């Protein structure tokens, strides 16, 4: 088949709906990636404008431009927007766009989830901007320490907007992370074993797992603080057995990995771009992967370095100080690995390379000041001064923004199909990077002279005037530079002339197709036998386009791609992707009501919306699967594979597995909070512990046994040619008994606002109630699917999904109830 004929067959199958409607129904990673990128850029602009307001305010002493009430909103929103609404969404957007092409597959694992995640982000972050315009933006600083952020320090709705708005945006981050993990592990070109993956995919796999393990503590913290604000459950109020420090632990358990979550995608971009610009391959691929993994692991061991001044014992500080300096080693490995790569090749100073040089200069300084503040006595002096502000901007701007600009220029041909023609980018670089250094070198200096962060103005005569004026002038030069970058990218993307395929001579598969990448991303799924298939096999693009890879002929006229084995990349299944759908958009809108209604204390509306989300998720899942057995499908190249609805581990099972990983971290964080309050909070123990009695534990154990056995029985009966319903009913009954045990606990402690102990028990039993209920609903839903003909002895994968969720509910339920019952036994 000729390339053009294949394109004409594939494109109608994969194309999004035309016109305005298409914006809301598209599930294509190219479309979503692009609007995601543009939205994130818009938030970079908004955050940047706030930054300019801050520098205008601080340019002169005793400034009357903004009062503290406004200034506090401005700096809180600057930090919040840059961290949550720009940095994370921006690299997610880039990943959504690039990953399928790089991996040689046709879309991300869950196309509708990409759309849902984007709309959650869009609605949540727009809400926060509306709050800013209306003057009710949060004002407690981006890390929102209680009690200042609780009802004592922040009456009214601003803090609620932060807690609920950010939690909502994190739904999007978790969605994207699940999607990226499953895509990288299961959806690749044939033969692309883990050690042949593009390095960027490795980095994004690490980042996605980090998101799944780092965001839950923060989501839990926000939930607890919102419960305290709304219902007086005193998690952070010391008088009732809470402790303000609990928030700091939960927040920085998220907040430190967050820094590496932002840095690693940028490092992945550098590891991809830099070797291409040096016309060589990355030095020490295995070492770089190992460095990224160890960075991720270590980053979870150093959250306390944000809390050196909270009075933690010096031995504890020694441990965290050691971990904080140790984390510089894998960073060093990457930096020297990159320089070694440059020595190995013939580096050329194209524009992406120029920005990478900006990254080197800036990030190395940021890393060195980072090591300085990991030294405890030094941090005691500079903590909460402008020195910290300067350090974090060196790390985040140098370590994220500059490499991301390099990435945008490098991949611009993939987005637009055009080659860069207008040469504003170089001018922009020479404004932004020197402007940045003038600004933040000065800010370091102000911090060393004792200027505190977050003060709206300062008195003259302390030697800070000239420094701040220099910083402000530098910052405006930098802002002009960034503005020029945006203009330059926009006009080059829109009106520059068409370019040729693979202009940089790169080795990875995103350059193997026509540019910009078509709706189906890759015309057929190639067999890959090296890390740089475009280098080892120059004819590969033509053979892909002629349909000589897997699934090269769309005989079944539906959206199909290949699922491969995780380690070796052997083809395993033919996955059928869903059609364009407005359900993700509608569901995001309804989900937003869950998060927005509590701001106005409309709890009934919140429950109505939650019910709506449940109904919509059923609608979402209903269209998947098949009502008849398809048997072995022709996958091209003479290979026959089963459809993904006729295997034990369908995509939904993989997605559930990683969603439950995040869920388990949330649960673990709740247990950590319980143990922390128990041991550290001053007003413990509570007046009385719950007495478990006999009925509750018996119900829980009996229910657990049934809930474990039911889904297993159902699967055995179905695969033996029988109906699965008895097993599912049994499982649902078991889950019901587990729920009853939780209700008994809550009835025994009727007032969750009495003491942090009561509040914690409510949260734990509420958690179990929710998960057991969810698994029971899933059991009922699968029964309905069975009645509608979606189950057969070959199509039993959905039962595995139910079993996974039921097992999880039982496991966490037993642990939570044990933690609730045990203290009462001892008294």
Burial of 313 (C-beta count, 10 Å sphere; 0-12/13-18/19+) = exposed
- CA–CA gap between residue 810 and residue 230 (Å, rounded): 30
Nearer to another protein, 293 or 819 (CB): 293
CA–CA–CA angle 818, 821, 823 (5° rounding): 110
CB 286 within 8 A of CB 337: no
Helices (H) and strands (E) in the chain, counts: 27, 4
Name the 3-class secondary structure at 561: strand
CB of 355 to another protein, least distance (A): 14
CB of 155 to another protein, least distance (A): 11
- CA–CA gap between residue 79 and residue 87 (Å, rounded): 11
CB of 420 to another protein, least distance (A): 21
- List Cβ<8 Å contacts ≥24 apart for 710-714: 710/734, 710/779, 710/806, 711/779, 711/799, 711/802, 711/803, 711/806, 711/807, 712/803, 714/799, 714/802
Strand partners, 633: 641
Nearer to another protein, 73 or 592 (CB): 73
Nearer to another protein, 4 or 349 (CB): 349
- CA–CA gap between residue 806 and residue 773 (Å, rounded): 10
CA–CA–CA angle 85, 86, 91 (5° rounding): 115
Nearer to another protein, 370 or 724 (CB): 370
Strands (E), 313-411: none
CB of 458 to another protein, least distance (A): 8
CB 517 within 8 A of CB 540: no
Nearer to another protein, 12 or 316 (CB): 316
Nearer to another protein, 18 or 311 (CB): 311
Strand partners, 560: 576
Helix, strand, coil shares of the chain, percent, nearest 5, are 70, 5, 25
CB of 258 to another protein, least distance (A): 19
Nearer to another protein, 348 or 640 (CB): 348
Q: Where are the alpha helices (DSSP H) in 59-103?
A: 68-80, 88-103
Q: Which residues contact 686 (CB under 8 A, 6 or more apart)?
A: 241, 755, 756, 757, 758
Nearer to another protein, 76 or 591 (CB): 76
DSSP structural state of residue 38: H
CB 373 within 8 A of CB 236: no
- CA–CA gap between residue 817 and residue 258 (Å, rounded): 32
Residue with tokens 């690995």: 337
- CA–CA gap between residue 333 and residue 247 (Å, rounded): 34
CB of 388 to another protein, least distance (A): 11
Phi, psi (5° rounding) for residue 733?
-65, -40
CB of 118 to another protein, least distance (A): 33
Nearer to another protein, 321 or 439 (CB): 321
Residue 671 region by backbone torsions, left for phi larger than 0, else alpha for psi between -120 and 50, else beta: alpha
- CA–CA gap between residue 521 and residue 513 (Å, rounded): 7
CB 243 within 8 A of CB 147: no
Name the 3-class secondary structure at 776: helix
Nearer to another protein, 30 or 150 (CB): 150
CA–chain centroid gap for 408, Å, is 20
Q: Which residues contact 487 (CB under 8 A, 6 or more apart)?
A: 424
CB of 279 to another protein, least distance (A): 8
- CA–CA gap between residue 115 and residue 716 (Å, rounded): 36
Q: Which residues contact 167 (CB under 8 A, 6 or more apart)?
A: 219, 222, 223, 226, 595
Largest Cα span, the chain: 87
CB of 349 to another protein, least distance (A): 7
CB 755 within 8 A of CB 240: yes
- CA–CA gap between residue 69 and residue 135 (Å, rounded): 10
Cα separations (Å) of 787 from 138, 621, 726, 784, 800? 50, 15, 13, 5, 17
């Amino acid at each position: 088949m000729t390339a053009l004929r294949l394109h004409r067959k594939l494109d109608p199958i994969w194309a999004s709906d035309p016109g305005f409607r298409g914006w809301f129904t598209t599930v294509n990673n190219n479309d979503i990636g692009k609007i995601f990128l543009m939205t994130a850029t818009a938030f970079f602009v908004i955050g940047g404008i706030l930054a300019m307001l801050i520098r205008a305010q601080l340019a002169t002493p005793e400034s009357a431009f903004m009062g503290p009430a406004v200034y506090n909103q401005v700096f809180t929103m600057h930090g919040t927007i840059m961290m949550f609404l720009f940095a994370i969404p921006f690299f997610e957007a880039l990943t959504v766009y690039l990953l399928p092409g790089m991996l040689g597959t046709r879309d991300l694992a869950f196309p509708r989830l990409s759309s849902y995640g984007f709309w959650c982000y869009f609605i949540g972050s727009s809400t926060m901007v509306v709050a800013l315009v209306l003057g009710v933006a949060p004002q407690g600083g981006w890390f929102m320490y209680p009690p200042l952020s609780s009802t004592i320090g922040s009456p009214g709705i601003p803090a609620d907007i932060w807690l609920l708005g950010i939690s909502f945006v994190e739904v999007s981050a978790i969605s994207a992370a699940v999607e990226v993990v499953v895509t990288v592990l299961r959806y690749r070109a044939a033969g692309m074993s883990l050690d042949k993956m593009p390095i960027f995919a490795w980095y994004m796999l690490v980042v996605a797992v980090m998101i799944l393990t780092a965001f839950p503590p923060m989501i839990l913290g926000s939930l607890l603080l919102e419960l305290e604000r709304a219902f007086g459950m005193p998690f952070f109020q010391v008088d009732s057995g809470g402790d303000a420090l609990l928030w700091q632990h939960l927040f920085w358990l998220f907040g430190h990995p967050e820094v590496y979550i932002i840095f690693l995608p940028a490092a992945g971009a550098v590891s991809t771009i830099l070797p291409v610009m040096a016309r060589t391959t990355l030095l020490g691929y295995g070492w770089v992967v190992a460095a990224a993994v160890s960075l991720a692991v270590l980053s979870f061991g150093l959250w306390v370095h944000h809390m050196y001044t909270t009075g933690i014992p010096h031995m504890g500080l020694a441990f965290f100080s050691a971990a904080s300096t140790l984390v510089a080693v894998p960073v060093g490995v990457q930096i020297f690995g990159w320089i070694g790569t440059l020595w190995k090749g013939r580096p050329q100073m194209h524009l992406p390379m120029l920005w990478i040089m900006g990254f080197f200069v800036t990030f190395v300084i940021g890393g060195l000041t980072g090591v300085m503040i990991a030294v405890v006595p030094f941090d005691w002096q500079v903590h909460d001064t402008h020195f910290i502000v300067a350090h974090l901007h060196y790390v985040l701007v140098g370590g994220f923004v500059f490499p991301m600009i390099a990435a945008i220029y490098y991949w611009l041909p993939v987005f637009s199909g055009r080659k860069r023609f207008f040469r504003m980018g170089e001018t922009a670089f020479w404004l932004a990077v020197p402007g940045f250094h003038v600004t933040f070198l000065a800010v370091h200096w102000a911090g060393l002279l004792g200027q505190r962060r977050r003060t709206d103005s300062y008195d003259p005569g302390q030697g800070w005037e000239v420094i701040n004026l220099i910083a402000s002038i530098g910052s405006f030069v930098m802002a002009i530079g960034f503005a020029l970058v945006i203009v330059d990218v926009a006009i080059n993307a829109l009106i520059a002339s068409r370019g040729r395929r693979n202009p940089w001579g790169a080795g990875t598969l995103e350059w193997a197709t026509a540019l910009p990448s078509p709706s189906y991303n890759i015309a057929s799924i190639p067999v890959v036998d090296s890390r740089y298939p475009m280098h080892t096999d120059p004819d590969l693009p033509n053979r892909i386009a002629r349909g000589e890879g897997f699934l090269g002929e769309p005989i079944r006229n539906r959206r199909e791609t290949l699922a491969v084995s995780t380690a070796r990349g052997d083809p395993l299944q033919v996955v059928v992707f869903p059609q364009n759908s407005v359900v993700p958009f509608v569901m995001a809108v309804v989900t937003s009501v869950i998060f927005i209604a509590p701001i106005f204390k409309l709890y009934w509306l919140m429950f109505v919306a939650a019910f709506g989300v449940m109904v919509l998720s059923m609608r979402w899942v209903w269209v998947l699967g098949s009502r008849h057995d398809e048997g072995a499908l022709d996958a091209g190249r003479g290979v026959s594979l089963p459809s993904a609805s006729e295997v034990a581990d369908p995509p939904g099972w993989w997605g559930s597995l990683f969603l439950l990983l995040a869920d388990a971290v949330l649960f673990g964080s709740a247990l950590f909070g319980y143990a922390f309050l128990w041991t550290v909070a001053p007003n413990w123990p509570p007046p009385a512990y719950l007495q478990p009695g006999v009925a509750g534990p018996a119900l829980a154990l009996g229910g657990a046994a049934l809930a474990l056995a039911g889904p297993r029985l159902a699967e055995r009966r179905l695969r033996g040619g029988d109906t699965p319903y008895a097993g599912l009913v049994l499982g649902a009954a078991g889950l019901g008994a587990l729920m009853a045990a939780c209700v008994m606990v809550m009835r025994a402690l009727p007032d969750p606002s009495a003491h942090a102990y009561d509040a914690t028990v409510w949260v734990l039993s509420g958690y179990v109630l929710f998960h057991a209920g969810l698994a029971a609903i899933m059991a009922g839903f699968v029964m309905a699917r069975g009645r509608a003909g979606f189950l057969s002895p070959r199509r039993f994968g959905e039962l595995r999904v139910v079993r996974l969720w039921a097992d999880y509910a039982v496991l966490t339920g037993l642990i939570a109830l044990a933690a609730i019952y045990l203290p009462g036994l001892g008294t």
